[in-house]
């Protein structure tokens, strides 16, 4: 974690020098809340979805701080979109010390920014003997859905099917988040594109619930779009386990963080609004 904090220190110094606040936390109604108040709420949840902008340094720093602080209060299980389910064995080998980071990097499909942005979280789990779950569908299977729809998953082997949500995957194309994807993509948007997104959301929800243990707190790290507006992963979680307590965090960027834009209200229980000039991790 030290190297991550060092990399962020310059960004914070520059922010302070310019008398600008690097970030502000808001609740779903757009009211400013303290970190302490957010943490008081999060500690009572069963599952926390921490939505990020993948290259946002503040989000990655806060993911670590939130996780570390919650670890002082609750037994934790961690999980992430950034690790695919068929790499769970390699991740477990790293957590147990059977392989080093070089081995993990060689054997698993790690994101290009894994070392700077996600390794600190995995190492936190390793140091404290916490479970870390690889929740995402293997990307090659999501691509198959993008090209040919859900039906293409029927031909997977039994082992391959163990790395995805149980078939058939429930799907609601009318969810506003999925409709927004089609609108954003314009002529490039297809029903299969949205189904590929749903295959990720369903699989991540499946592995969160498959590894959740009563009395523990599961923290999941994912791109904000997978949990914004309590849809995506959260829709699948609530469909299967409606009685669990879910809490969501999202990350947004604005030129002025002193007032949350109306368009960001309601995206999550807590909204981390980051100054758009803060250094990006890539």
Confidence of residue 281 (pLDDT cuts 50, 70, 90): very high
- Res 22 pLDDT > 70: yes
DSSP assignment of 245-272 equals -EEEEEEEEES--SS--GGGTTS-SEEE
Lowest average pLDDT, out of 5-9, 97-101, 198-202, goes to 5-9
pLDDT band at 3 (very low <50, low <70, confident <90, very high): very low
In the chain, the N- to C-terminal Cα span, in Å, equals 18
Cβ(4)–Cβ(64) below 8 Å: yes
- pLDDT tens string 220-268: 999 999 999 999 999 999 999 999 999 999 999 999 999 999 999 999 9
pLDDT band at 178 (very low <50, low <70, confident <90, very high): very high
The answer, yes or no, to whether residue 282 has pLDDT greater than 50, is yes
Q: What is the pLDDT of residues 32-84, one digit of tens each?
A: 999 999 999 999 999 999 999 999 999 999 999 999 999 999 999 999 999 99
Overall pTM surpassing 0.85 (yes/no): yes
What pLDDT digit, counting tens, does each position of 195-225 carry? Answer: 999 999 999 999 999 999 999 999 999 999 9
The predicted model gives 5-31 an average pLDDT of 69
CA distance 267 to 270: 8
Domain residue ranges in the chain = 2-275
Write the DSSP string, 112-139: TTHHHHTHHHHHHHHHTT-EEEEEEPPH
Place of tokens 């914004």: 228
Domain 2-275 has CATH 3.30.420.10: no
Q: Where are the alpha helices (DSSP H) in the chain?
A: 2-17, 35-42, 57-71, 88-96, 101-107, 114-117, 119-127, 139-148, 158-161, 176-185, 191-211, 233-240
Q: Helix 2-17 crosses helix 57-71 at what angle (to 10 degrees)?
A: 120
pLDDT band for position 20 (cuts 50, 70, 90): confident
Determine how many CB atoms are found less than 10 A away from the CB of residue 183: 10
Cβ atoms within 10 Å of 92's Cβ, excluding its own:
15
Whole-number pLDDT of residue 8: 54
* pLDDT surpasses 70 at 16: no
């Amino acid at each position: 974690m030290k190297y991550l904090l060092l990399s962020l220190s310059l960004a914070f110094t520059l922010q302070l020098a310019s008398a600008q606040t690097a970030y502000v936390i808001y609740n779903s109604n757009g009211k400013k809340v303290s970190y302490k108040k957010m943490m008081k709420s999060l500690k009572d949840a069963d599952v926390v979805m921490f939505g990020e902008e993948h290259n946002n340094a503040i989000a990655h720093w806060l993911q670590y701080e939130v996780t570390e602080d919650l670890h002082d209060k609750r037994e934790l299980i961690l999980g992430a979109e950034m690790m695919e389910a068929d790499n769970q064995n390699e991740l477990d080998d790293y957590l147990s010390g059977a392989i080093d980071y070089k081995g993990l990097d060689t054997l698993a499909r790690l994101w290009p920014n894994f070392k700077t942005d996600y390794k600190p979280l995995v190492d936190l789990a390793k140091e404290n003997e916490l479970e870390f779950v690889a929740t995402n569908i293997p990307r090659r299977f999501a691509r198959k859905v993008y090209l040919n729809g859900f039906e293409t998953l029927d031909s997977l082997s039994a082992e391959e099917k163990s790395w995805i949500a149980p078939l058939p995957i429930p799907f609601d194309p009318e969810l506003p988040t999925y409709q927004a994807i089609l609108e954003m993509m314009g002529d490039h948007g297809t029903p299969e594109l949205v189904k590929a997104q749903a295959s990720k959301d369903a699989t991540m929800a499946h592995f969160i619930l498959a590894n959740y243990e009563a009395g523990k707190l599961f923290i999941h790290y994912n791109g904000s779009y997978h949990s914004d507006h309590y849809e995506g992963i959260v829709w699948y979680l609530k469909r299967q386990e409606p009685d669990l307590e879910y809490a969501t965090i999202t990350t947004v960027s604005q030129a002025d963080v002193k007032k949350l834009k109306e368009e960001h209200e309601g995206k999550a229980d807590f909204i981390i609004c980051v100054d758009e000039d803060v250094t990006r991790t890539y």
